[in-house]
Chain A
Amino acid sequence: MKNIKYDQLRAMLSLTKASLKALMRNPSAVVFNLVFPLIFILVFGFIGGSSFKIDVVFEKNSDTSNHIYKELAESNTITIIKNPDYQNVFSDLEKGRIDAVINIENSPSGQQIISLKTTKASPERGSILKMIISEIVSKQNLAFTEAKTPKTELKEIEIEGRKFKTIDFILPGQLGFSLLSAGVFGTAFIFISLRQTLVLKRFFATPVKKVYIILGESLSRLIFSIFTSIIIILLGYYIFGFTLVNGFVTLLNMLILSVIALIVFLGFGFVVSGIAKNESAVPPIANLITLPQFLLAGTFFPISNFPEWLQPVSRALPLTYLNEALRKISFEGAGIFDVWKDILIMLIWGVVIYSVAVKVFKWE
């Protein structure tokens, strides 16, 4: 009569369903995953980014032995990219990966001609750069007042590019951070509470296998996070004009990336739930994982804004790669396979963190 084969998947899905219902009723989950990111988007979406770096490439044949190059190199706001990818320099410009391309030529008549190419993808940076260069040029020309023709001439070309808005930077960062905190806080709290209230033990008294308990819980976090991600992206798109270059396809790529990232981040949550003795020990440990990434992974500012000694730290964090990959997908129209390097680094983190999780995770 009851000899139907036991189906672990059915058991797992019933846990997923229960967990999702509980999650929806939990105000803090909704606040952390949805309300916080939206508030940050709102605030930063209106304030707009103020401090930034201007990335500049000098063309291959450009004269770099002159005064103007030296002044630009010394400027704090300007970063001259050494050894750029000359082949793709103009597509990089169009995408806003770099802000300007400069060429300084010495004409046969002894005149210095500066060609400045900027992009609509970063118009503010372009115009600030123009101001800086004009200033250098006019100072220099002043020194040659006797000369009939000004020694240096500035030619400007602005190439067409997509308009890069603050929201295009802020939203992926907030989405990334929302996924990180969902992964770390969400799992850590629930597993500690299930362990302490002996709910897990009661589950062990049923035929469900332990791994399916983990899978069932994780699946519900994934579904919940995809749901909140969609809301964040769509609100960004319709209200703040967030750029989804290829529309639905871009949204889909962002969601696939989010799932991969969340799986990695859940690993951090399992580690925290194993280390923390009780629920009140979760926030300090979890903050130790999330806060540095919140600040250093390019959530609010491009990591090129940080002092050079700090940048390798940023470059080591998994959230950095999620944020960058999300931006490449949403603004540059990259596909999920184009960001394989970022994904690879996240997956390496995943392998490391899950091997720690397996060691420290506690069932009782």
Chain B
Amino acid sequence: MKENIIEVKNLVKKYNSLVAVDGISFNVRVGEVFGLLGPNGAGKTTTLEIMETLRDKTSGEVFINGLSVDENQNEIKKIIGIQLQAAGFYPNLYLNELIELFAGLYNVYTDPDELLDLVDLRDKKNSKYKELSGGQKQRFSVCTTLINEPKLIFLDEPTTGLDPQARRNLWELIKRIKAKGTTIMLTTHYMDEAEILCDRVGIIDHGNIIAIDSPDNLIDDLVRSGFERPKQVKLASLEDVFINLTGHSIRDV
């Protein structure tokens, strides 16, 4: 079995009396895409930000690449890349300048053009972040997670609010990043997305992880337990119809 890049043991986070994360444990293996699935308010962002060293935990243990989030925050920051849910960027700067800024903050040397190529935004390098479309914004956010060539990146609801074309475009990007050997931990509340992207998923609700496995196994388990869909599904969904009619090509360029 592959080694774990993330180890979470009995993690608890309380905001005053509210228990946002209620003693969860899970591991993420090197090189996989791990999805944390759950409805709004389930505790996904809280869990992610504790792993990212941006939030203190109440109790439990978290190790990133063998480093404890209690002691090695700076070492952890150097090997992870982060996309925050709904974060903006420094105002009034062009994309290539934003990349240079982060390169400085990470103390690395990088070629903005090369990074922007990776997310198909080279022709936007002299645009400001606020001038980008939703999909372009998310692609740029993902791009900034790669500046320090991290071992592990965190994407918090990267596709929320995007149209079907832009979502598919971002899925391709995530697959490309995975193909390079980077481990990806993402959150989503779209099950189709999890099924397509994730090697394994953890389903979280009210701060508890109620299931962890590969999407296939989870579905098989459910079927084995005698579950049947009330109505037999058609061989295509409305989204398939939409994509079939409007095409895969991205609309924001």
Neighbouring B residues of A22 by C-beta, 8 Å: 90-93
Neighbouring A residues of B82 by C-beta, 8 Å: 202, 205
Cα–Cα distance between A193 and B92 once the two chains are bound (Å): 12
Within 8 A of A (CB), among B101-140: 101-108
Is A207 interfacial (CB-CB < 8 Å)? yes
Is A144 interfacial (CB-CB < 8 Å)? no
Cα–Cα distance between A197 and B92 once the two chains are bound (Å): 13
Within 8 A of A (CB), among B21-55: 52-54
Q: Are B90 and A11 in contact (CB under 8 A)?
A: no
Contact of A14 among B74, B88, B92, B100 (CB under 8 A): B100
Q: Are A202 and B87 in contact (CB under 8 A)?
A: yes
Is B241 interfacial (CB-CB < 8 Å)? no
Q: Are A207 and B77 in contact (CB under 8 A)?
A: yes
The smallest beta-carbon distance between A263 and chain B, in angstroms, is: 23
Is B86 interfacial (CB-CB < 8 Å)? yes
The smallest beta-carbon distance between B94 and chain A, in angstroms, is: 9
Is A60 interfacial (CB-CB < 8 Å)? no
Q: Are B54 and A205 in contact (CB under 8 A)?
A: yes
Cα–Cα distance between A206 and B78 once the two chains are bound (Å): 7
Within 8 A of B (CB), among A1-36: 2, 4, 6-7, 10-11, 13-15, 17-19, 21-22, 25-26
Most chain B beta-carbon neighbours within 10 Å: one of A13, A18, A19, A201: A18
The smallest beta-carbon distance between B140 and chain A, in angstroms, is: 12
Q: Are B88 and A197 in contact (CB under 8 A)?
A: yes
Contact of A18 among B84, B100, B106, B144 (CB under 8 A): B100
Within 8 A of B (CB), among A196-253: 197-199, 201-208
Q: Are A197 and B107 in contact (CB under 8 A)?
A: no
Cα–Cα distance between A22 and B92 once the two chains are bound (Å): 5
Which residue of chain B lies nearest to A19 when distances are taken between CB atoms in the complex? B90
Tally of A interface residues using CB under 8 Å: 29
Cα–Cα distance between A14 and B103 once the two chains are bound (Å): 8
Q: Are A197 and B105 in contact (CB under 8 A)?
A: no
The smallest beta-carbon distance between A224 and chain B, in angstroms, is: 13
Cα–Cα distance between A269 and B87 once the two chains are bound (Å): 24
Is A194 interfacial (CB-CB < 8 Å)? yes
Q: Are A205 and B88 in contact (CB under 8 A)?
A: no
Contact of B84 among A13, A21, A201, A207 (CB under 8 A): A201
Is B242 interfacial (CB-CB < 8 Å)? no
Given known contacts A6-B78, A207-B107, is B87 in contact with A26 (CB within 8 Å)? no
Neighbouring B residues of A202 by C-beta, 8 Å: 82, 84, 87, 89, 144
Neighbouring B residues of A194 by C-beta, 8 Å: 90
Contact with B along A178-197 (1 / 0, CB 8 A): 00000000000000011001
Which residue of chain A lies nearest to B80 when distances are taken between CB atoms in the complex? A205
Cα–Cα distance between A203 and B144 once the two chains are bound (Å): 11
Is B61 interfacial (CB-CB < 8 Å)? no
The smallest beta-carbon distance between A31 and chain B, in angstroms, is: 15
Which residue of chain A lies nearest to B144 when distances are taken between CB atoms in the complex? A202
The smallest beta-carbon distance between A142 and chain B, in angstroms, is: 72
Cα–Cα distance between A25 and B90 once the two chains are bound (Å): 13
Within 8 A of A (CB), among B61-96: 74, 77-78, 80, 82, 84, 86-93
Q: Are A21 and B93 in contact (CB under 8 A)?
A: yes
Which residue of chain B lies nearest to A202 when distances are taken between CB atoms in the complex? B87
Contact with A along B187-212 (1 / 0, CB 8 A): 00000000000000000000000000
Is B7 interfacial (CB-CB < 8 Å)? no
Q: Are A199 and B90 in contact (CB under 8 A)?
A: yes
Cα–Cα distance between A10 and B107 once the two chains are bound (Å): 7
Q: Are B54 and A18 in contact (CB under 8 A)?
A: no
Which residue of chain B lies nearest to A205 when distances are taken between CB atoms in the complex? B82
Contact of A197 among B52, B87, B100, B103 (CB under 8 A): B87
Cα–Cα distance between A238 and B208 once the two chains are bound (Å): 72
Cα–Cα distance between A207 and B73 once the two chains are bound (Å): 8
Cα–Cα distance between A18 and B89 once the two chains are bound (Å): 11
Cα–Cα distance between A198 and B91 once the two chains are bound (Å): 12
Some 11 contacts from A to B, beta carbons below 8 A apart, are A6-B78, A11-B104, A19-B90, A21-B97, A197-B89, A198-B84, A198-B87, A201-B54, A202-B89, A207-B74, A208-B105
* B interface list, Cβ under 8 A from A: 52-54, 74, 77-78, 80, 82, 84, 86-93, 97-98, 100-108, 144, 148
Supply 12 further A-B pairs (C-beta < 8 A) apart from A11-B106, A18-B93, A22-B91.
A14-B100, A14-B104, A18-B97, A19-B90, A21-B93, A197-B87, A201-B87, A205-B53, A205-B54, A205-B77, A205-B84, A206-B77
